[in-house]
Amino acid sequence: MSSFSLGSLARRQFLRIAAATGTATIAARSAQAAMPATVEQGRKVGAPLRPYGQPSPYEKVVRVSTTSTPTQISSWDFTPLQHLHGIVTPNGLFYERNHAGIPNIDPRTHRLLVYGLVDGARAFTIDDLLRYPAVSVIRFLECSGNTLTEWKKPTAKTVQVSHGLVSCCEWTGVSVKTLLQDIGVDSKARWVVAEGADAGLMDRSIPLEKMMDDAILAYAQNGERLRPEQGYPLRLLLPGFEGNMSIKWLRGLKLTTEPTYSREETSKYTDLLANGKARAFTFVMDPKSVITSPSGGMVVENKGFNEIRGLAWSGRGKIRRVDVSTDGGAKWNEAALQEPVLEKCLTRFRFPWTWAGGSAVLQSRCVDETGYVQPTLQELVRVRGTDSVYHNNGIQSWAVASDGAITNVQA
């Protein structure tokens, strides 16, 4: 038995090739460079290089915007969840929620001002922030208004419109903790007011504890600098908290003793209960899941094997388990979770379903690592009433008719 290293194997292969062709490699290479490109006869030459790639012209997957705003001043559009794969949302399909349009910000003149209860206010340029140690995490972002149309009756035709105000990407930036520790925080500080530079005057009070835990000053998403829609050149990212608090086009962080009670945390982004009181500061996005395929507007074409696919996420941590029902919640079956299963991140689940051809009601229900079980809509309504706008994480039902057509129902 002879043993040899990888190096000697490669060398032997090289010698064999050189012997077979009877030429020295160097000579062959220079002859190749002088030759024009060869085109197989009868074949059309393909498209030239592009400096920035685009999807295939056969793929028509796009965001769709809401029809319930009268102007584009306040606007939102939905991620096409039913057409995506895996857990990462491509940058061009990340959902958008803009209260006053997308500002055009020159990163050379933009500043982040950190002031209030700190050891000396400081203004940072984007280049300053790029010099700090960087962190990257894959985290979902969900508008707490996601699924707001579904409180009273099934309304959205597709999962894109019922659940598409959630997206997930790899965010890169500076952890807020690193920056605040560098500046020095006054021991009296408890809250941080984050301020946006758009015309919408978005400001939200965030517990200092959250800021020192896992908040990020993000300047990049999925490997490239933020898209203007996502807050270019800088946004706050508060993993697991309602999307509204992840202030885009971030220009200010003010450290205070008390929350500010801004418009966005009093008149808006509170949850009116049936007794006339409102829940306020409902920061964390509770566990939620939805079947994305097959889902509303689709048609199940084949009897027999169909894979049920969906997404689950929790603002409290990792998804521990997802169950799928095909009979409106009478019987539940455990779905497989696709790795990686990360905290505060979309988790893909799959369930092998054999459709016999009759009618069915498809549902998914998730449990996170804290043991929280996703409620039915009825359970949620019992506690919250139907005057709430935000934080609808109820179980979604899709009815499959005997012809395979799928519609949004409440089961």
Ligand X SMILES: Nc1nc2c(c(=O)[nH]1)N[C@H]1C(S)=C(S)[C@@H](COP(=O)(O)O)O[C@H]1N2
Question: Which stretches of the chain bind Mo ion, using CB under 5 A?
Answer: 97, 143, 243-244
Determine which residue in the list 164, 233, 239, 243 makes contact with ligand X, applying CB under 6 A.
243
343 near ligand X, judged by CB under 6 A: no
Shortest CB 411 distance to ligand X, Å: 28
Total count of residues recorded for the chain: 411
Q: Which stretch binds ligand X (CB under 6 A): 25-33, 88-96, 125-133, 147-155?
A: 88-96
Q: Which of 81, 87, 129, 143 touches ligand X by CB under 6 A?
A: 143
Confirm or reject binding of residue 246 to ligand X (CB under 6 A).
Answer: yes
Q: Is 271 in the site for ligand X (CB under 6 A)?
A: no
313 touches ligand X (CB under 6 A): no
Which of Mo ion, ligand X, none sits in contact with 116, Cβ below 5 to 8 A by type? none
Cβ 241 to Mo ion shortest distance, Å: 11
146 binds, among Mo ion, ligand X, none (CB under 5 to 8 A by kind): none
Q: Which of residues 100-129 bind ligand X (CB under 6 A)?
A: none
Judged by beta carbon, residue 111 or residue 268, the one nearer Mo ion is: 268
Q: Does 353 bind ligand X (CB under 6 A)?
A: no
- Nearer to Mo ion by Cβ, of 81 and 360: the residue is 81
Two tokens at 15?
A: 């010698």
Rounded Cα distance between 371 and 321, Å, is: 10
Rounded distance between C-alpha atoms, residue 362 and residue 308, angstroms: 9
Task: Say which entry of Mo ion, ligand X, none residue 225 contacts (CB below 5 to 8 A, set by partner kind).
Answer: none
Residue 200 or 294 with smaller CB distance to ligand X: 200
Contact letters for ligand X, residues 39-78 (x by CB under 6 A): ----------------------------------------
159 contacts ligand X (rule: CB under 6 A): no
Considering only residues 197 to 236 of the shown chain, the ones binding ligand X according to CB under 6 A are 198, 200, 202, 229-230
Residues that bind ligand X (CB under 6 A): 94-99, 141, 143, 196, 198, 200, 202, 229-230, 243-244, 246-249
